[in-house]
């Protein structure tokens, strides 16, 4: 079902002075956000919303809905940059047949990028004026954690079963996720989480769509004109206890045959997805280390040029799910996930991001995230399982990834 509260959309975008911290400008507790290194977009209110029908054509349905809505809009854009004019924020479930994918066009979007800032408003009665400074949000208070769909020992058992299937030759790699529940003393204001995440993890993409909030290190695709970019992450180690330990862990990760092969699988899946869409594609021969406050990753930045006028959602459709969040081969890995994981991933490891009227946008893979509802949060973390994976070590890696959202909730 889709709802356009204002039809046609009457859109006005104007330059504004630097607003400072974008999160501090958000006036309510149900924001939309996409922020990295203090730049990006935040939004609030609703001009239009679409509940995307589940199924294999969901990305095409979403693209067509956005295209028709924005083609009918009356747009006055004095900025004309990616992310100016009307913007739809979206989140897609990991599984194609699962309900819950959504697109929302906020009534107000405030953006800052490359030394420029702008404000977009929708509605003839809404002149483009920066909002007054809102009251500071209240912290969530004391947090109680509980097991999610599987206990830690049950999840370790699932990892061991996956390892046996890999060594029996059924597949090369599978990503197994687990969830954790959290109950706060007070309702959880997403603005608190966004502020903490964007400050602590500036290298990541801090996002929020309908309470689904996190800071993902993995850029699925950035689309600007015909240029596209993707950051592939696979292979992980926790940070060290001191500088020497940290360097040793990074060196061991880079030299690890298990992690390097996992990374090769992920990069290959991205190359295979993008090659048919691109007239040029640059894939690095070797990964680099991406060092974050909680973990280190093997990372490869893939760039290319599209051969036609595909929108960012067309590229998302071709890429999801990557081997980094599903496995290799993809179809078998998805079957193993359904057999062993014991939970509904919902939006975890699905695409999350934004698209504008020109088809440009940025979409990440929803990692290091949680679904917030009232005073409750459901946290997610996952690990790439290979033939020599150790269930104890994989559990420790998942716990390290949970620290991102635990930090956001507890600080």
The mean pLDDT of 177-188, rounded to a whole number, is 97
What is the Cα–Cα distance from 239 to 249, expressed in whole angstroms?
Answer: 7
Q: Which residues pair with 184 in a beta bridge?
A: 143
* Residue 2: predicted pLDDT: 56
pLDDT (tens digit, 9 = 90+) per residue, 56-111?
999 999 999 999 999 999 999 999 999 999 999 999 999 999 999 999 999 999 99
Mean pLDDT check: name the lowest of 59-63, 121-125, 301-305, 342-346.
121-125
Question: Which two three-digit tokens encode residue 63?
Answer: 């693209």
What is the Cα–Cα distance from 384 to 18, expressed in whole angstroms?
Answer: 41
Check: CB of residue 91 under 8 Å from CB of residue 210: yes
130: confidence class by pLDDT, cuts 50, 70, 90: confident
pTM equals 0.94
**Residues with active-site annotation:** 173, 218
- pLDDT of 379 > 60? The answer is yes
- pLDDT of 129 > 80? The answer is no
Check: CB of residue 282 under 8 Å from CB of residue 220: no
DSSP 8-state class, residue 275: G
Widest Cα–Cα separation across the chain: 65
Structural domains in the chain plus CATH codes? 2-133+140-410 (3.60.120.10)
The mean pLDDT of 308-318, rounded to a whole number, is 92
Percent of the chain with pLDDT over 90: 88
Question: Which two three-digit tokens encode residue 56?
Answer: 């294999």
| Backbone dihedral region for residue 286 (phi beyond 0: left; psi -120 to 50: alpha; all else: beta) | beta
- pLDDT of 193 > 90? The answer is yes
Question: How many CB atoms lie under 10 A from the CB of residue 252?
Answer: 12
Indicate the average pLDDT of the chain.
94
* Residue 301: predicted pLDDT: 95
- pLDDT of 1 > 70? The answer is no
pLDDT (tens digit, 9 = 90+) per residue, 210-246?
999 999 999 999 999 999 999 999 889 999 999 999 9
pLDDT (tens digit, 9 = 90+) per residue, 15-31?
999 999 999 999 876 89
pLDDT (tens digit, 9 = 90+) per residue, 281-291?
999 999 999 99
């Amino acid at each position: 079902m889709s709802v356009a509260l204002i039809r046609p959309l009457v859109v006005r975008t104007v330059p504004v002075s630097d607003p400072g911290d974008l999160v501090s400008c958000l006036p309510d507790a149900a924001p939309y956000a996409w922020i990295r290194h203090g730049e990006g977009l935040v939004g609030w209110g609703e001009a239009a919303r679409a509940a995307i029908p589940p199924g294999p054509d969901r990305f095409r349905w979403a693209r067509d809905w956005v295209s028709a809505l924005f083609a009918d809009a009356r747009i006055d854009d004095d900025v004309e940059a990616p992310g100016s004019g009307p913007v739809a924020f979206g989140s897609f479930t990991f599984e194609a047949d699962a309900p819950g994918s959504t697109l929302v066009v906020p009534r107000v979007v405030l953006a800052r990028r490359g030394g420029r800032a702008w404000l977009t408003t929708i509605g003839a009665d809404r002149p483009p004026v920066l909002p007054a400074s809102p009251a500071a949000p209240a912290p969530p208070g004391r947090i109680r954690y509980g097991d999610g769909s599987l206990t830690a020992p049950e999840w370790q058992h699932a990892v061991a079963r996956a390892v046996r299937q890999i060594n029996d030759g059924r597949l090369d790699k599978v990503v197994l996720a687990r969830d954790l529940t959290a109950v706060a003393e007070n309702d959880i204001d997403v603005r608190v989480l966004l502020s903490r995440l964007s400050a602590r993890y500036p290298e990541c993409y801090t996002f929020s769509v309908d309470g689904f909030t996190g800071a993902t290190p993995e850029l699925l695709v950035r689309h600007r004109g015909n240029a596209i970019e993707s950051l592939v992450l696979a292979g992980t180690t926790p940070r060290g206890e001191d500088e020497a330990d940290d360097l040793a862990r990074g060196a061991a990760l880079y030299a690890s045959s298990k992690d390097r092969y996992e990374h090769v699988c992920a990069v290959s899946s991205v190359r295979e997805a993008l090659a048919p869409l691109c007239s040029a594609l640059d894939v690095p021969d070797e990964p680099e280390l991406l060092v974050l406050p909680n973990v280190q990753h093997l990372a490869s930045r893939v760039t290319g040029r599209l051969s036609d006028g595909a929108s960012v959602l067309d590229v998302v459709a071709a890429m999801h799910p990557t081997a980094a969040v599903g496995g290799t081969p993809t179809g078998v890995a998805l079957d193993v996930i359904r057999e062993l994981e014991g939970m509904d991933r919902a939006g975890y490891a699905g695409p999350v991001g934004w698209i504008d009227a020109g088809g440009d946008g940025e979409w990440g893979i929803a990692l290091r995230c949680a679904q917030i509802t009232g005073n409750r949060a459901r946290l997610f973390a996952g690990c790439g399982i290979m033939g020599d994976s150790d269930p104890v070590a994989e559990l420790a890696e998942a716990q390290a990834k949970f620290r991102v959202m635990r930090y956001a909730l507890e600080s």
